[in-house]
Structure 1
Amino acid sequence: MVNLVVTLRKKSQGIWRSSFVRSVAVVASGTAGAQAVTIAFAPLITRLYGPEAYGVQGAFISIMSVAAPIGALAYPISVVLPRRDEEALGLLRLSAYISFFIAALIAVGLWLGGEAVISLLEIESISTLIYLLPVAVLFAAWKQMAERWLIRKKAFGVIARSALANSGFLNSARALAGFVYPSGAVLIVLATVAEVLHALLMLIGIRKRTTIDLSESSEVSTSNVIELAHRHRDFPLYRAPQNTINAASKSLPVLMLATFFGPSTAGFYMLSQMVMGMPSTLVGKAVSDVFYPRITEAAHNGENLSRHILRATGSLAAIGIVPFAIVIFFGPWMFSLVFGEEWSMAGEYARWLALFFFFNFINKPSNAAVPVLGIQRGLLFYEILSTGGKVVGFLLGFYWLNSDIWAVAIFSVVGVIAYSGVMLWVYLCAVRWDRDKKAV
């Protein structure tokens, strides 16, 4: 027994000494702090604003989430891949050009057809604020650019501190504004300001905490930028549409609930989505941010990629199984207790979303491995099928069963099947990669 304890202690010390685990802990600590602030303020904010205000905010954030992945056509994701910083800086320059063009394109689109979107989602009360969307998308793209450079430089502490500071500002502002003017319009303005602030905090962190010579970007000529754009063309061709479709599939319930059942129902879903998505934000994203450069390095060094993916996925499953199971059994009671009696329906949604978000949580390593394995075209095909299935499931719940709960339930089950399939596919691709490397 003593030998077993000693062995376990040595194993745990060895795991903690791992640079991968320490990096995950740094990112997770900042995200945990940000989520802790959100959780601490949530009971107050939900009582100040109510389901309808949350639903209006949810419609805006859902539209922004769908537009944000094409804000720089996914080129920022490729910043981690080049061996030389000069190429990475060229990709950042390319991303910046594209982000301004896309933001201008969205502004023109809203000017021409914004009224139709407002009418469809029944958000006439905040009609003028829909024009904040280009600003939010632009700074979401800049935030992603800054974050990917920090990941490349392994400056995970800057990412953590930025997330914590931004969460503190956003939730404090929500609470203070809620006492004065508790409305969906206030939540939308603050969500946009938070995107701007988060991007600026990361850019400040880059200047202070990373060894970057900004003049180096001038060494990348326009012709070189075009060459980099062509070399990494699989990102705009496959990853940007995949990310957009994935965001659409996650935003779909909020938009469809707002359209079919009204803003209050969308507000219930918005809260349950926020709570159930916390483990993915807290640990899953931290693992993904650290795992991406790690598996890129492993591929460069000829290491066994399938083993890395399997180990990371298993670790996340062990971490997530208990908290998600608790929500399945006690969701409505927990939501009523914490957020107020009027939020009980959000707990019913959370019961089903727990299944969906558990598989979303453990899918993070597989998703991070996709660009390294060069299978982004296949991921796009998967995303189209997955989103199509979720749309059909949601429409089935509404038109056939005439129930918002059944619509959310079918959506979640389809998502579980889709995540299971893509994890198996990525693992098999990694096994083939390992086999091909050995054969060379």
Structure 2
Amino acid sequence: MVQRFREKLNNLRKDPFWRNVGSLFSGTAIGQALPILIFPLLTRIYPKVIFDVYFIYSSIILVTKIISNLQYHYALLLPKKDTHARALLAFNTAISLGVSALLMLIIIGIHPAVSKLIDNPNLANWLYYIPLSTFLLGLFETFMFYLNRLKKYRYITYGRVSKGIVLVVTQSLFGFLGFTADGLLYGLLLAQGISVVLLIFYAFRSDPACFVFARSDIGGLARRYKDMPLYDTLISFLNNLSSQLPVFMLTRFFGAGASGDFGMSNKIVNTPTGMVANSVGQVFYRETSDIMHSGRDLKAFVKRMYRNMFRIGIVPFSILLIAAPWLFDWILSDDYMSTGFMTQVLVPFFFISFMNNPATSLLTMLNKQKAGTLYQLALLGGRLLALGAGVLWFDHVLITVGLFSLVSIGFNIFLYFYLLRIAANPNTNYHI
């Protein structure tokens, strides 16, 4: 059995696809693991109520990040001409700036009413920083995808590592200096800003002409990839909104502590597993484009990816399913044992979502955004009904989250079979 495992590992190392994944993942693991490793310290510096606010803020910017560049960053990998990619790079940057400015105007207008509604001075003050976070996240996605186009995976890794290191150092330092009300936020903003600056520097270093473009190209490219803002933005927005729906509903009906447990669980589990899925997803997106150009068997490639994702995830997710409450109690503190119980309820959903994550880019590559939009609308409705049923009929936080998890599992199983079906008959006339 050990020998067979070694053979499988050697085969993965020889596969160019998984070598590129490893290049992204190795440094990313450091950058993403550091904030998780520092949590036992941070949970003893900052009060739990601040973490509750921090995860609500994080949930909000995960939703606003989707509209930060209207998903045009996905188009950076698709044009054959480098001049077109450079025009899209400038276009993405302009969109991020415009969206963030609009968000600031909206927040200034609604802030007084929202402050009274949420009755939380910390969160009310943090709302003003949402446009800045949204702008930085939009730039990070844009330049990360541009470096992906250039196959500069090492530089993407450096950007992620820098973000993790700065986040750990600054959040710890602000906490020790007594900024226990806003230190988590200040550290997050600094980490976002520094990582963006590094990615911009690496893009210029890799392609000194990256900021040279023809304005006349932008209009045609915007129309050529118009399905991305029309459908991909809506798909991603609905996906993130439905994923973060428990945070908003749990806050409303069970208090910030319940939403904090969900946020912490999501962070602890999906940060390390998400960096694997995202690393695979970036290379998968690039390799899918190459397969479409060459006419190779896309379905076989997708099935192989699923098998390997299952092998990667089965052990860590099984451990969490069995021992999450005691792990959270031991690693963080006894205040977070409730987070462990919530994690057990969510683990099956986290696992199947982990497996599906890389392949969802097929919806864009194969011109299935309309189907993706319908899927996300149905998923949002199903999750809303599940959470509503949990609140109205059971009035129990774990049962409510359990219903959310169960509905999410059912939809992800459907998505798995749908992605395999469209991979069997790809539409080669779209974007390629």
C-alpha displacement at 1:56, in angstroms?
0.6
Gap change, CA 1:119 and 1:408, over 3 Å in 2: farther
- Establish whether residue 216 from structure 1 lines up as the match of residue 212 from structure 2: yes
8 Å Cα contact 1:126/1:185 also seen in 2: no
1:171-229 residue CA offsets vs partner (Å, 9 max, x unmatched): 12111222233535222232222222221121122123x23413531xx223x211111
Structure 1 stretch displaced more, 273-282 or 245-254: 273-282
**Corresponding position of 1:313:** 306
Question: How far apart, in 2, do the equivalents of 1:184 and 1:413 lie?
Answer: 36
- Establish whether residue 55 from structure 1 lines up as the match of residue 52 from structure 2: yes
**Corresponding position of 1:18:** 15
**Corresponding position of 2:253:** 260
Gap change, CA 1:326 and 1:259, over 3 Å in 2: same
Determine which of 414, 417, 420 is the counterpart of 1:424: 417
1:281-318 residue CA offsets vs partner (Å, 9 max, x unmatched): 23111100111001111001111111111110111011
Structure 1 stretch displaced more, 263-272 or 139-148: 263-272
8 Å Cα contact 2:31/2:161 also seen in 1: yes
- Establish whether residue 290 from structure 1 lines up as the match of residue 283 from structure 2: yes
**Aligned positions of 1:26-425 closer than 5 A:** 26-181=23-178, 183-208=180-205, 210-214=206-210, 216-217=212-213, 220-222=214-216, 224-425=217-418
Identity of aligned residues (%): 26
8 Å Cα contact 1:366/1:427 also seen in 2: no
Structure 1 stretch displaced more, 259-268 or 412-421: 259-268
Question: How far apart, in 1, do the equivalents of 2:83 and 2:292 lie?
Answer: 21
Q: For structure 1, list consecutive stretches of 5 or more residues without a partner in the other structure.
A: none
Question: How far apart, in 2, do the equivalents of 1:115 and 1:60 lie?
Answer: 17
SS of residue in 2 equivalent to 1:33: helix
8 Å Cα contact 1:276/1:353 also seen in 2: no
Gap change, CA 1:233 and 1:299, over 3 Å in 2: same
8 Å Cα contact 1:74/1:236 also seen in 2: yes
Gap change, CA 1:181 and 1:255, over 3 Å in 2: farther
**Aligned residue type for 1:211:** D
C-alpha displacement at 1:426, in angstroms?
1.4
Question: How far apart, in 2, do the equivalents of 1:170 and 1:279 lie?
Answer: 16
C-alpha displacement at 1:10, in angstroms?
6.6
Q: For structure 2, list consecutive stretches of 5 or more residues without a partner in the other structure.
A: none
Question: How far apart, in 2, do the equivalents of 1:343 and 1:244 lie?
Answer: 30
Structure 1 length as normaliser, TM-score?
Answer: 0.93
C-alpha displacement at 1:132, in angstroms?
0.9
1:6-46 residue CA offsets vs partner (Å, 9 max, x unmatched): x9867654431322111100111112112331232111111
Question: How far apart, in 1, do the equivalents of 2:310 and 2:99 lie?
Answer: 38
Gap change, CA 1:336 and 1:12, over 3 Å in 2: closer
Gap change, CA 1:182 and 1:328, over 3 Å in 2: farther
C-alpha displacement at 1:118, in angstroms?
3.5
Question: How far apart, in 2, do the equivalents of 1:60 and 1:118 lie?
Answer: 14
Gap change, CA 1:406 and 1:18, over 3 Å in 2: same
C-alpha displacement at 1:342, in angstroms?
0.8
1:132-173 residue CA offsets vs partner (Å, 9 max, x unmatched): 111111111111110110111111111111111211111121
Gap change, CA 1:113 and 1:84, over 3 Å in 2: same
C-alpha displacement at 1:355, in angstroms?
1.1
8 Å Cα contact 1:332/1:345 also seen in 2: yes
Structure 1 stretch displaced more, 184-193 or 149-158: 184-193
C-alpha displacement at 1:395, in angstroms?
1.6
**Aligned residue type for 1:200:** V
8 Å Cα contact 1:54/1:266 also seen in 2: no
8 Å Cα contact 1:31/1:281 also seen in 2: no
**Aligned residue type for 2:322:** F
**Aligned residue type for 1:380:** T
8 Å Cα contact 1:51/1:265 also seen in 2: no
Structure 2 length as normaliser, TM-score?
Answer: 0.94
C-alpha displacement at 1:233, in angstroms?
0.4
| Number of residue-to-residue matches in the alignment | 429
8 Å Cα contact 1:24/1:290 also seen in 2: yes
Question: How far apart, in 1, do the equivalents of 2:119 and 2:319 lie?
Answer: 35
8 Å Cα contact 2:72/2:229 also seen in 1: yes
SS of residue in 1 equivalent to 2:212: helix
Question: How far apart, in 2, do the equivalents of 1:429 and 1:27 lie?
Answer: 27
SS of residue in 2 equivalent to 1:27: helix
Gap change, CA 1:307 and 1:59, over 3 Å in 2: same
**Aligned residue type for 1:246:** N
8 Å Cα contact 2:251/2:258 also seen in 1: yes
Gap change, CA 1:423 and 1:139, over 3 Å in 2: same
